[in-house]
Structure 1
Amino acid sequence: MLTSAVSTTNGPIRGVEQNGVRSFKGVPFATAQRFAKATPPLAWTEPRRCTDYGAYAPQPGHLDQADEEACLSLNIWVPAADHPLPVKFFIHGGAFVTGGGADYDGSFLAAHGPAVIVTINYRLGPLGFLQLHRYGLTEANNLALQDTLAALDWVRANIANFGGDPDAITLSGQSAGASMVIALATLPQARGKFIRALALSAPGRNIMSADHADDVARRVLEELGLTRDASAITTVPLPELFAAMERGSRRLADETEQGTLFGPVLDGMVIAREPRDVFADGSLCDIPLWLGSCRDEMVMFLKSTPPAAMIRTTERQVRASFGDAGWCRLLSNYRATARVDEDPYEALLSDAFWHRPMADLARLHAAAGGAVWLSRFDHRPALEPFLSQGPTHGADNACLWAHLPGFIDRPILKRKGGPMTPADIDVAARFQASLLRFVTTGVPDVEQAWPRFAPGNEPLAIFGQPFHIVPLNDGARFRVWAELTEQSRPEVVA
Structure 2
Amino acid sequence: MLTNAVPTTNGPILGVEQGAVRAFKGIPFATARRFAKATPPPAWTEPRRCTDFGGFAPQPGYLDHALEESCLSLNIWTPAGGDCPLPVLFFIHGGAFVTGGGADYDGGFLATHGPAVIVTINYRLGPLGFLQLHRHGLDQANNLAISDALAALDWVHANIANFGGDPGAVTLSGQSAGASMLIALATLKQARGKFIRALALSAPGRNILSADHADDVARRVLAELGLEHDSAAIASMPLPQLFAAVEKVGRRLADETASGSVFGPVLDGAVIPREPRDVIADGSLRDIPLWLGSCRDEMVMFLKSTPPAAMIRTTERNVRAAFGDAGWERLLDCYRATARLDEDPYEALLSDAFWHRPMADLARHHAAAGGAVWLSRFDHRPALQPFQSQGPTHGADNACLWAHLPAFIDRPILKRKGGPMTPADIDVAARFQSTLLRFVTTGRPDAAEVWPRFETGEEPLAIFGQPFHVIPLNQGPRFRLWAELSLSSNDKNKMREAG
Under a length normalisation based on structure 1, what TM-score does the superposition of the two structures give? 0.99
Aligned match of 1:193 = 194
Q: In 1, Cα distance between the equivalents of 2:264 and 2:449? A: 36
SS in 1 for 2:479: helix
Confirm or deny: 8 A CA contact 1:71 1:123 kept in the other structure: yes
**1:8-87 alignment to 2 at 5 Å?**
8-64=8-64, 67-79=67-79, 80-87=81-88
SS in 2 for 1:453: coil
Aligned match of 1:112 = 113
SS in 2 for 1:165: strand
List per-residue Cα deviations over 1:68-89 (Å, max 9, x = no partner). 1210000000003222000000
Confirm or deny: 8 A CA contact 2:174 2:200 kept in the other structure: yes
**Where does structure 2 lack aligned partners over 5 or more consecutive residues?**
none
Confirm or deny: 8 A CA contact 2:207 2:265 kept in the other structure: yes
Amino acid at match of 2:118: I
Aligned match of 2:4 = 4
Q: In 2, Cα distance between the equivalents of 1:303 and 1:271? A: 34
Amino acid at match of 1:22: R
Worse-matched range after superposition: 484-493 or 332-341:
484-493
Aligned match of 1:317 = 318
Confirm or deny: 8 A CA contact 2:94 2:178 kept in the other structure: yes
Confirm or deny: 8 A CA contact 1:93 1:99 kept in the other structure: yes
List per-residue Cα deviations over 1:186-235 (Å, max 9, x = no partner). 00111111000000000000100001101110111111111111000001
Confirm or deny: 8 A CA contact 1:86 1:168 kept in the other structure: yes
Q: Does 1:253 align with 2:254?
A: yes
SS in 1 for 2:171: strand
What is the Cα deviation at residue 447 of structure 1?
5.9
Aligned match of 1:122 = 123
SS in 2 for 1:126: helix
SS in 2 for 1:133: coil
Q: In 1, Cα distance between the equivalents of 2:12 and 2:450? A: 45
Q: In 2, Cα distance between the equivalents of 1:446 and 1:26? A: 37
What is the Cα deviation at residue 414 of structure 1?
0.5
Aligned match of 1:417 = 418
**1:427-438 alignment to 2 at 5 Å?**
427-438=428-439
Consecutive aligned runs of 4 or more in structure 1 exceeding 6 Å deviation: none
Confirm or deny: 8 A CA contact 1:130 1:140 kept in the other structure: yes
Q: In 2, Cα distance between the equivalents of 1:294 and 1:108? A: 23
Q: In 2, Cα distance between the equivalents of 1:152 and 1:86? A: 14
**1:114-193 alignment to 2 at 5 Å?**
114-193=115-194
Confirm or deny: 8 A CA contact 1:386 1:395 kept in the other structure: yes
Change (3 A) 1:315 1:66: farther
Q: In 2, Cα distance between the equivalents of 1:187 and 1:452? A: 25
What is the Cα deviation at residue 20 of structure 1?
1.1
Aligned match of 1:407 = 408
Q: Does 1:288 align with 2:289?
A: yes
What is the Cα deviation at residue 437 of structure 1?
0.4
Amino acid at match of 1:374: L
Q: In 2, Cα distance between the equivalents of 1:261 and 1:425? A: 37
**Paired residues, what number?**
494
List per-residue Cα deviations over 1:76-105 (Å, max 9, x = no partner). 000032220000000000000000000000
Aligned match of 1:331 = 332
List per-residue Cα deviations over 1:309-340 (Å, max 9, x = no partner). 00000000000000000000000110111111
Q: Percent identity of the aligned residues?
A: 82
Aligned match of 1:354 = 355
Aligned match of 2:370 = 369
Aligned match of 2:473 = 472
Confirm or deny: 8 A CA contact 1:381 1:391 kept in the other structure: yes
Confirm or deny: 8 A CA contact 2:65 2:239 kept in the other structure: no
**Where does structure 1 lack aligned partners over 5 or more consecutive residues?**
none
Change (3 A) 1:7 1:254: same
What is the Cα deviation at residue 65 of structure 1?
8.1
Q: In 2, Cα distance between the equivalents of 1:157 and 1:81? A: 21
Q: In 1, Cα distance between the equivalents of 2:368 and 2:441? A: 25
What is the Cα deviation at residue 56 of structure 1?
1.5
Q: In 2, Cα distance between the equivalents of 1:359 and 1:267? A: 26
List per-residue Cα deviations over 1:272-293 (Å, max 9, x = no partner). 0000110011110000000000
SS in 1 for 2:267: coil
Amino acid at match of 1:90: F
Confirm or deny: 8 A CA contact 1:56 1:65 kept in the other structure: no
Aligned match of 2:279 = 278
Amino acid at match of 2:62: H
Confirm or deny: 8 A CA contact 1:55 1:65 kept in the other structure: no
Worse-matched range after superposition: 136-145 or 481-490:
481-490
SS in 1 for 2:45: coil
Q: In 1, Cα distance between the equivalents of 2:286 and 2:209? A: 24
**1:453-472 alignment to 2 at 5 Å?**
453-472=454-473
What is the Cα deviation at residue 415 of structure 1?
0.2
SS in 1 for 2:218: helix
Confirm or deny: 8 A CA contact 2:85 2:161 kept in the other structure: yes
SS in 1 for 2:206: coil
SS in 2 for 1:391: coil
Q: In 2, Cα distance between the equivalents of 1:56 and 1:77? A: 18
Confirm or deny: 8 A CA contact 2:32 2:69 kept in the other structure: yes
Aligned match of 1:388 = 389
Aligned match of 1:213 = 214
Confirm or deny: 8 A CA contact 1:300 1:389 kept in the other structure: yes
Confirm or deny: 8 A CA contact 1:435 1:444 kept in the other structure: yes
Q: In 1, Cα distance between the equivalents of 2:32 and 2:415? A: 27
Q: In 2, Cα distance between the equivalents of 1:408 and 1:235? A: 37
